Amino acid sequence: MTETLKLALAQLNPHVGQIAANLAGIRRARALAARLGADLVVTPELSISGYPPEDLVRKPAFVAACADAMSALAAETADGGPGIIVGAPWAEGDKLYNAAFVLDGGRILARRFKHELPNYGVFDEKRVFDAGPAPGPVPFRGFRLGLMICEDWWFPAVSETLAESGAEFLLSTNGSPFEVNKQQEQRIPLAVRRVVETGLAFVFCAQVCGQDELVFEGASFVLNPDRSLAVQMPFFDEAVTLTEWRRDGERLVCVPQPLAPEPGRMEQIYRAMMLGLADYVRKNGFPGVILGLSGGIDSALSAAVATDALGADRVRAFMLPSPYTSQTSLDDAADCARLLGISCDTVPISPAMGAFESALAPVFEGRRADITEENIQSRARGLILMAISNKFGSMVLTTGNKSEMSVGYATLYGDMCGGYSVLKDVYKTTVFELSRWRNTHRPPGALGPEGPVMPERVITKPPTAELKPNQTDQDTLPPYEVLDAILSGLVEGEQSVDALVAAGHDRATVLRVWRMLDRAEYKRRQAPPGVKITPRAFGRDRRYPITNGFTGLIA
């Protein structure tokens, strides 16, 4: 009986729908694993198609192309090198499965279908896939692999079935989206439960990529039967790690190795924003990004993330001053650009404001100026940025944060214009924390500079949209520390007004915030995509009707 198994975990960055590129990445990982002496290479969930493929799997031609790629890989394993586990959609009759394949010796050795289909939060797999039967172990070169696919290990049934039918360890291929602190607060504790229930070691092999609003941070790991962490792969980086397994009676034990460090909360959020933006720009073919640099903290942080993710030569900033823009804001924006090393041009919006004022004067005759004129300024800026984007091909990076988007403190077709937002799921109080953190830390893999990336004054001065004289955000909104605490309760916690009042918040303030949140749904539906950071991001996580007469939250 073979006593040692060398298993390579390939933490890859697939491109949804780009089958040829995904195939090339899998081949590179297998070649590296072969040089390391691996017997078997494990790749993440749906590694051939990319994850999540959504309605792409409804196209028969796409499913067939994935099957052809998988068959080509199977044939290549006749070279005497390591076997490989890959994922692809698989059609059988009128059924379509999320499948994992074990390829070895030039053939498909086994296939397993995902049994538990997630249908909550960002997931709707029941819409496109059929559930497979509970899997049994896969024989591989004298070992019995407890192969399962992502959601299968979040519930005990599949793990217990594998253990009862003779699996020697549990092996899960994954497409598990990032949420801050998810590794320590959810994945590791749940994996410990599976280990305790079955007495078997557990392997978590994950992808690392940005896919639209989702980020996958990798962080693949191995828990031994004694619940100790034997392997921890890097966060936010592609990697191939060789693990060695030895028999201990009827189970396998992984030889421990040095663990990759787990980033702190601020680094996790920042690197998730970097990865989400970098992959969105790269995979969609944009040459770079442009953004409005106002001298405020949101645009400063967005510019820093963009520079760290893409490099200074692919980030172009514009100051778009109005008659209400202070010299302090102009100086701070210029200093941000200088610290980051990005280009920054100035395009005054006063001529556009005058043109709109003249065009609308007959219609607005007899009415005093109000928020309409403020919104015209924001829309003029959006128009200018979109024109520059059209001319040069770079994507407009939107700079609004979650606090603003929650309560509608943003101008539709104005500061909401753009193709992507790194701050979409980041509350304003966290924007301040991230800015302080970045001024003293340069994250791993960052292409931006060492040292501060924005003046201290950008962090300390009162936030303002500068759409009228002496304006601050707190003219319209509660203090951000109050606003964000209430929003977290309403959005992430789905708490009632009464519950938030019982927690110490002023009832009138809670009601005011709730009404703003409820009324802004139409704006959020038209907002650009952005990086998911929290457990309840706007969009796929939180889907409320725009036309909504329910007021039961007040009770």
Catalytic residue annotation: 45, 114, 150
Q: Where are the alpha helices (DSSP H) in 441-519?
A: 456-460, 480-491, 497-502, 507-519
Structure tokens at 395: 């994507």
Alpha-carbon distance of 228 to 237, in angstroms, equals: 23
- CB-based contacts of 185, cutoff 8 Å, min separation 6: none
- The answer to whether the CB of 53 falls within 8 A of the CB of 89 is yes
3-state helix, strand, coil in the chain (%, to 5): 40, 20, 40
3-class DSSP state of 410: coil
Q: Where are the alpha helices (DSSP H) in 45-112?
A: 60-76
Per-residue burial over 250-277, b = 16 or more CB atoms within 10 Å of its CB, e = otherwise: ebbbbeeeeebeebeebbbbbbbbbbbb
Alpha-carbon distance of 6 to 34, in angstroms, equals: 10
**Residue 38, CB-side half-sphere exposure with 13 Å CA sphere:** 25
- The answer to whether the CB of 242 falls within 8 A of the CB of 48 is no
